[in-house]
Structure 1
Amino acid sequence: MTMTFPGVLDSLSPIRAFARDAATRAGLDERGTYRLCLAVDEVATNIITHGYAEAGRDGTVEVSARLDAASLTIEIEDTGARYDPAEQPMPTKRDLAAPPEVRRAGGLGLFLVFQSVSSFSHEHIGSKNRTTLVMQVEQDGQHHGEPS
């Protein structure tokens, strides 16, 4: 299942609803659903804010969900400014312990994404950024959202 949303902040709520629906269909528990929605929301917010608004671009956010016996995969594609999360420094333990008013800006949202899903990947293909988030599904039919 795939849906395309305008690359504007008003799309965040329907994008979250799409992720929540996919999590429900996959049978993720409440915690797994929360973690997936947090990750999707953070990625979509970054795309809309940095990839489109701050870059002076218009575009869409295409979100797809695919469920198989082992996992729920959410892919998020955009044509915003080229972005490579691997180039962003992750917050250190010191950064995380610091009060927000003195904490170094940036990186916390991406850190939360990495902590929320089983796996994360990002690639730039042609004119598109593609972020892939995976939540593992246990083989016995039980679903969970814990990162491995």
Structure 2
Amino acid sequence: MTTTMSFPGVLDSLSHIRAFARGAAMRAGLDERGTYRLCLAVDEVATNIITHGYAEAGRDGTVVVSARLDAASLTLEIEDTGARYDPAAQPMPTEQELAEPPEVRRAGGLGLFLVFQSVSSFRHEHIGSRNRTTLVMQLEEDRQHHGDPS
């Protein structure tokens, strides 16, 4: 089953995008922690799209979010036509940087680090004129990781 919604590429859409992700997580049976992790990842990706891909690049556009649920996983795809972006090219914070107080730590990178830590898998592609970010939550992994016996 796949559900898709399109949202204006503005900051006011973030709460609606988050609600879409939360609804998908609930339908998938993710526990509270898994739902939080997924929503954190979706929120970070959508915020980056809206802020950097649209607003800072002087572009207008939409954020299209699709949720696909099967027996093993919940997959969210987030697509936009913002400025081309490659998250894999961004440096991740080192353990030493993570241990530093926020006021000393270099700006940037922490949000993507949290995204990578929050989901079972992350993939980003640039297809034609679109950026596509795919976030996957493995349902069995979420249950085992958090002690759900079902």
Structure-1-length-normalised TM-score: 0.94
The 8 Å contact of residues 122 and 132 in structure 1, kept in 2 or not, is answered as: yes
Q: Percent identity?
A: 86
CA deviations over 1:36-55 (Å, ceiling 9, x no partner): 00000000000000000000
CA deviations over 1:88-107 (Å, ceiling 9, x no partner): 00000111111111101110
Q: Which residue of 1 aligns with 2:148?
A: none
- In the comparison of the two structures, how many residue pairs are matched? 143
- The Cα of 1:144 is off from its aligned counterpart by 3.4
Task: Select the residue among 58, 61, 73 that pairs with 1:59.
Answer: 61
Task: Select the residue among 67, 70, 85 that pairs with 2:87.
Answer: 85
Q: Unmatched 5+ residue regions in structure 2?
A: 146-150
What is the root-mean-square deviation in Å for CA atoms of aligned residues?
1.3
Q: How many Å separate the matches in 2 of 1:86 and 1:35? A: 20
Hey, which of these two has a bigger chunk of helix by percent? 2
CA deviations over 1:115-148 (Å, ceiling 9, x no partner): 000000000000000000000012xxx95395xx
| Cα distance change on mapping 1:14 and 1:145 into 2, 3 Å | farther
Partner-residue secondary structure (3-state), 1:144: helix
CA deviations over 1:72-92 (Å, ceiling 9, x no partner): 000000000000011100000
Q: How many Å separate the matches in 1 of 2:66 and 2:117? A: 21
Partner-residue secondary structure (3-state), 2:98: helix
Structure-2-length-normalised TM-score: 0.93
Q: Which residue of 1 aligns with 2:116?
A: 114
Q: How many Å separate the matches in 2 of 1:77 and 1:127? A: 10
CA deviations over 1:46-75 (Å, ceiling 9, x no partner): 000000000000000000000001100000
Q: Which residue of 2 aligns with 1:144?
A: 143
Q: Unmatched 5+ residue regions in structure 1?
A: none
